[in-house]
């Protein structure tokens, strides 16, 4: 396959960064097509830790082109900081290493202020957003009052639109949210810097990608978040404000349906989520705490402790159906070492009634009782294993059950944080 999308099949944080980084070695172009800096990928390369939020993981390989498509929402100041940090570590030195869509919307300081003030007012009903202004930025895009990189070209006209927006947002912040207004002068000064620094990367990324596809280049589309955080197919309203599945590639990167050859799903060997909302297989108490510590399950974007749960095959089947997965990369199998027994949720029950899928009435997800299969655990350290046959038998059986319960063939298994700590069964670019 030449064009491959990688999508999270749980609530984000599945370890997509590591898999994308690994696959980026075989790709020419790596593309972000939705979300913003609410995403964060932690990558360990040659013992060095990187956290990428907006820049695609191709940035850690020489000679790759990174693209941020029109479907992403970009906090320009956060992007400058990320580019500077990468450059100071000798990555992304060339200006043509990054292509940024003119049509991508800007996340403004007033979006962050609104996001945070709203969450604070919601109290117990808060979504648990990252507070980076993502929802309010997508709202403005749909309301057709958003500002795009394109607008920066004519700075006088941009300033006029910006000032109009700031007046409206400040009214809302003060009167409705009882929050501090934002300073127009400060934002204008920041946007001037953003214009100077980021203009060199701007282009029509849809045309760039069409040309790259026509030239037979290998392209990796890097999904952010996960299907359960998808605005349409996730646990609404406890979701992010974009479509997070492979369907978003077409709108968010501007490529034609049919130009995407395959989808690789990514899932942890267990489940995590940050923020509020239903979580059927959540493990509370000491076992959850132990897994959180072992898996270092603290949000890369916000540092918040992640909620921990058993592997939920119902969710992954939901993601597989929506994305038509060619294969599944299962990450962090090593974190389960020493846990005995291990459990897989294969279905749900509500008042004696069985469900093989997420109940059509999504609110019921709060009420379901997971149906578990228990399997024996393993205790041998697996972090140096590089072939399936070298895994302890119990670990192999666990993987076989996941394959059978999700209906998706395994393509990769992660056994540690480093790029090389991966058992590669099938590489989508070699298929």
Q: Which residues are catalytic?
A: 13, 41
Tell the smallest beta-carbon distance from residue 138 to ligand IMP (Å).
9
Based on CB atoms, which residue is closest to ligand IMP, 133 or 428? 133
Greatest alpha-carbon span in the chain: 67
Based on CB atoms, which residue is closest to ligand IMP, 229 or 368? 229
Based on CB atoms, which residue is closest to ligand IMP, 206 or 272? 272
Tell the smallest beta-carbon distance from residue 75 to ligand IMP (Å).
12
Based on CB atoms, which residue is closest to ligand IMP, 53 or 218? 53
Which of these, 313, 279, 258, 226, lies nearest to 38 by C-alpha position?
A: 226
Based on CB atoms, which residue is closest to ligand IMP, 2 or 362? 362
Based on CB atoms, which residue is closest to ligand IMP, 285 or 303? 303
- With vertex at residue 153, the alpha carbon angle to CA 148 and CA 157, rounded to the nearest 5 degrees, is 80
Residues binding ligand IMP (CB under 6 A): 11-13, 38-39, 127-130, 132, 134-135, 224-225, 229, 238, 240-241, 274-275
Residue 275: both structure tokens together: 């923020």
In the bound complex, which residue of the shown chain has the CB atom lying closest to ligand IMP? Answer: 275
- Helix (H) / strand (E) element for 189: namely helix 184-198
Tell the smallest beta-carbon distance from residue 111 to ligand IMP (Å).
10
Based on CB atoms, which residue is closest to ligand IMP, 124 or 351? 124
Residue 20: both structure tokens together: 């994308």
43 contacts 303 by C-beta, under 8 angstroms: no
Tell the smallest beta-carbon distance from residue 358 to ligand IMP (Å).
17
Tell the smallest beta-carbon distance from residue 44 to ligand IMP (Å).
18
Tell the smallest beta-carbon distance from residue 69 to ligand IMP (Å).
17
Based on CB atoms, which residue is closest to ligand IMP, 39 or 382? 39
223 contacts 6 by C-beta, under 8 angstroms: yes
The SS3 assignment for 423 reads strand
**Residues, the chain:** 431
Place of tokens 């991508």: 104
302 contacts 116 by C-beta, under 8 angstroms: no
Which of these, 137, 98, 426, 128, lies nearest to 278 by C-alpha position?
A: 128
Rounded CA-CA distance 139/108 in Å is 12
Buried b (16+ CB within 10 A) or exposed e, 198-220: beebbeebbebbeebbeeeebbb
For 181, other C-beta atoms within 10 Å of its C-beta total: 15
Rounded CA-CA distance 248/204 in Å is 18
Tell the smallest beta-carbon distance from residue 406 to ligand IMP (Å).
20
26 contacts 64 by C-beta, under 8 angstroms: no
Rounded CA-CA distance 165/162 in Å is 5
Tell the smallest beta-carbon distance from residue 226 to ligand IMP (Å).
7
The SS3 assignment for 8 reads strand
Tell the smallest beta-carbon distance from residue 354 to ligand IMP (Å).
29
Identify the bridge partners of residue 266 per DSSP, sorted by sequence position.
8, 329
Helix axes 109-122, 134-142, angle to 10 degrees: 110
Which of these, 81, 110, 72, lies nearest to 187 by C-alpha position?
A: 110
Query: DSSP characters for 192-254?
Result: HHHHHHHGGGEE-HHHHHHHHHHTT--EEEE--S-GGG-TTTSSTTSS-SS--STTHHHHHHT
């Amino acid at each position: 396959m030449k064009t491959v999308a990688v999508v999270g099949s749980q609530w984000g944080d599945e370890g997509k960064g590591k898999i994308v980084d690994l696959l980026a070695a075989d790709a020419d172009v790596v593309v972000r097509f939705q979300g913003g800096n609410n995403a964060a990928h932690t990558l360990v390369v040659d013992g060095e830790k990187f956290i990428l939020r907006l820049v695609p993981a191709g940035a850690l390989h020489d000679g790759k082109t990174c693209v941020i498509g029109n479907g992403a929402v970009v906090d320009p100041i956060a992007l400058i900081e990320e580019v500077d940090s990468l450059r100071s570590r000798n990555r992304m030195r060339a200006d043509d290493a990054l292509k940024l869509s003119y049509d991508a919307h800007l996340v403004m300081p007033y979006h962050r202020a609104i996001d945070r003030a709203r969450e604070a007012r919601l109290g117990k009903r808060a979504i648990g957003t990252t507070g980076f202004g993502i929802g309010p930025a997508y709202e403005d895009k749909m309301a057709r009052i958003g500002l795009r990189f394109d607008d920066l070209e004519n700075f006088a006209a941009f300033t006029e639109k910006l000032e109009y927006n700031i007046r409206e947002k400040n009214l809302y912040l003060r009167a409705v949210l009882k929050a501090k207004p934002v300073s127009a002068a400060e934002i204008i000064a920041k946007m001037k810097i953003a214009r100077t620094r980021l203009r060199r990367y701007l282009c029509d990324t849809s045309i760039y990608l069409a040309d790259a596809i026509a030239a037979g280049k290998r392209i990796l589309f890097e999904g952010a978040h996960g299907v359960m955080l998808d605005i349409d197919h996730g646990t609404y309203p406890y979701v992010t404000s974009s479509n997070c599945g492979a369907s978003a590639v077409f709108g968010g990167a501007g490529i034609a349906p049919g130009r995407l050859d395959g989808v690789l799903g990514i899932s942890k060997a267990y489940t995590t989520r940050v923020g509020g909302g239903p979580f059927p297989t959540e493990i509370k108490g000491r076992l959850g705490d132990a897994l959180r510590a072992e898996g270092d399950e603290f949000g890369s974007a916000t540092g918040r402790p992640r909620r921990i749960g058993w592997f939920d095959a119902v969710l992954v089947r939901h993601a597989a159906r929506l994305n038509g997965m060619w294969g599944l990369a299962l990450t962090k199998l090593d974190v389960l070492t020493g846990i005995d027994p291990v459990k897989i949720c294969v279905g749900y029950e509500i008042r004696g009634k069985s469900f093989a899928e997420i109940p059509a009435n999504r609110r019921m997800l709060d009420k379901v009782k997971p149906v578990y299969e228990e399997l024996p655990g393993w205790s041998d350290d697996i972090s140096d294993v590089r072939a399936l046959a070298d895994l302890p038998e119990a670990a192999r059986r666990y993987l076989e059950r996941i394959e059978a319960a999700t209906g998706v063939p395994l393509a990769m298994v992660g056994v540690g944080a480093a790029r090389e700590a991966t058992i590669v069964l099938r590489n989508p670019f070699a298929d």
